[in-house]
Amino acid sequence: MYTDQLLTCVDCGAEFTFTAGEQEFYAQKGFQNKPNRCPDCRQARKASRNGGGGMQRSYGTRQMFSTTCSSCGGPAEVPFQPRGDKPVYCRDCFQRIRA
Ligand SMILES: [Zn+2]
Ligand SMILES: [Zn+2]
């Protein structure tokens, strides 16, 4: 009941075959959409999503807020949003105060 379809890749514009087998697979999975990309571009996207992990790793790092040190008036970076009700210190002053 399925026949091969020729689709155009939205990324590279190349024509690729959406095979009867793939259509059946898509139907079984309940996918409503046809593939937008040729197998090459799909692979490339998958690889860029998994490879490197740049996005995922930076997601875990804390966002730093730039502010002014309450002690020396120099630039300071703190891992929370400074609200002005607490003193914030640059790394040098923070270590001096802790010591
Ligand atoms: Zn492509
Ligand atoms: Zn300071």
The tens digit of pLDDT for each residue in 58-80 reads 455 678 889 999 999 999 988 88
Q: How far apart are CA 56 and CA 2, in angstroms?
A: 39
If DSSP codes are grouped into helix, strand and coil, which group holds residue 7? strand
DSSP letter at 89 equals: -
For the chain, what are the domain ranges? 5-50, 65-98
C-beta contacts of 46-54 below 8 A and 24+ residues apart = none
Q: How far away, in angstroms, is 59 Cα from ligand 2 center?
A: 28
For 45-58, the pLDDT digits (tens) are 988 876 554 444 44
DSSP states of 12-76: T--EEEE-HHHHHHHHHHT--SPP-S-HHHHHHHHHHHHSS-HHHHHHHSPP-EEEE-TTT--EE
Q: How far apart are CA 46 and CA 29, in angstroms?
A: 19
Q: How far away, in angstroms, is 71 Cα from ligand 2 center?
A: 5
The pTM of the full predicted model, rounded to 2 decimals, is 0.46
Q: How far away, in angstroms, is 45 Cα from ligand 2 center?
A: 45
